[in-house]
Amino acid sequence: MQRHWSNKNLVSDPLKPVGIFDSGYGGLTILEKIRERLPQFDYLYLGDNARTPYGTRSFEIVYEFTWQAVRKLFDEGCPLVILACNTASAKALRTIQQKNLPQTAPDNRVLGVIRPTVENVAVLTRSRHVGVVGTPGTILSDSYTLEIHKLFPDITVTGEACPMWVPLVENAEYDTPGADYFVRKHLDTLFAKDPQIDVVILGCTHYPLLINKIRKYLPDHVQILSQGEYVADSLADYLQRHPEMESRCTKNATVRFLTTEADDKFSTMASIFLAGNIDAQRITLD
């Protein structure tokens, strides 16, 4: 069914949307699951498409860009922002939570996607050997290993950085022979490092677009942990435990889209991710 995802503000009161941030289009896979779970809220999506990918950038740059985006979403009225990007969650979330928020926006909150994902890994793995695929930034940060070991120290975690997977998705090449080549290459390398893996975490919000290829090159018994539903469940749980935040977020079921790239380019590409018409608005970050 075609849906129309509007950027028009149809209500007279100022919106206080939940902000959803990603370096590009990948966070749309998270937005979709969050909207299915919590359709009543207003959402404001921001894709830093002009500066994507983040996965190969340094810690300092990812932090700087992410904080700029969060500030923009706060300025637009969002009391709560989800970093729907593993790279930003790995490299910027802690500093924003511990340093920036207390100084500049103590009543606002920023949440990431790594913790809600790893909380669910233990029930899926029998071999206690888990693989993680992600951007070089996410894998080199070791965030998944650290977070999994905080909760489940007995699980062996093996990461594989897949630098070409985000560009394949951002350029709509996710269903081509080129995608087959790069997906197979990295999954073969992952299983060569640890053949006992029985769960593979998609540690990048772009990767659900590659799921058919990923399934094709994984052994049948291996489960894929895709994070959208877990992040949505975790947000629902958070809002239930924090009624003061829940009541600050407005509920008119609207969705608006901001991008740092050309708005028509974003609208065309994002329509692939969300199967509907999208009106985006171009903004600049600084």
Catalytically active residues, by annotation: 85, 204
**Is residue 228 within the footprint of ligand DGL (CB under 6 A)?**
no
Identified binder of ligand DGL from the candidate list 17, 19, 47, 53, rule CB under 6 A: 53
Q: Which residues of 249-275 are buried (b: 16+ CB within 10 A; e: fewer)?
A: bbbeebbbbbbbbebeebbebbbebbe
Q: Write out the binding residues for ligand DGL, residues 153-182 only, by CB under 6 A.
A: 166
Q: Is 97 exposed, middle or buried (0-12, 13-18, 19+ CB in 10 A)?
A: middle
Q: Write out the binding residues for ligand DGL, residues 97-116 only, by CB under 6 A.
A: none
Contact 43, 31 (CB under 8 A): yes
Identified binder of ligand DGL from the candidate list 17, 19, 26, 208, rule CB under 6 A: 26
Q: What is the sign, positive or negative, of the torsion defined by CA atoms of 263, 284, 206, 245?
A: negative
Identified binder of ligand DGL from the candidate list 5, 18, 21, 24, rule CB under 6 A: 24
CB of 209 to ligand DGL, least distance (A): 10
**Is residue 117 within the footprint of ligand DGL (CB under 6 A)?**
no
**Is residue 204 within the footprint of ligand DGL (CB under 6 A)?**
yes
Identified binder of ligand DGL from the candidate list 5, 21, 43, 54, rule CB under 6 A: 54
Token pair belonging to 10: 């149809």
Identified binder of ligand DGL from the candidate list 34, 42, 49, 87, rule CB under 6 A: 87
Residue 166: closest CA among 145, 182, 189 = 182
DSSP label at residue 228: H
Using the minimum distance from each CB to ligand DGL, give the nearer residue, 44 or 231. Answer: 231
Residue with tokens 């049948």: 220
**Is residue 52 within the footprint of ligand DGL (CB under 6 A)?**
yes
Enumerate residues 6+ apart whose C-beta is below 8 A from 232. Answer: 30, 33, 34, 36, 37, 38
**How many binding residues for ligand DGL (CB under 6 A)?**
17
Identity at 62, one-letter amino acid code: V
Identified binder of ligand DGL from the candidate list 20, 28, 73, 85, rule CB under 6 A: 85
Interface residues toward ligand DGL, by CB under 6 A:
22-24, 26, 52-55, 85-87, 135, 138, 166, 204-206
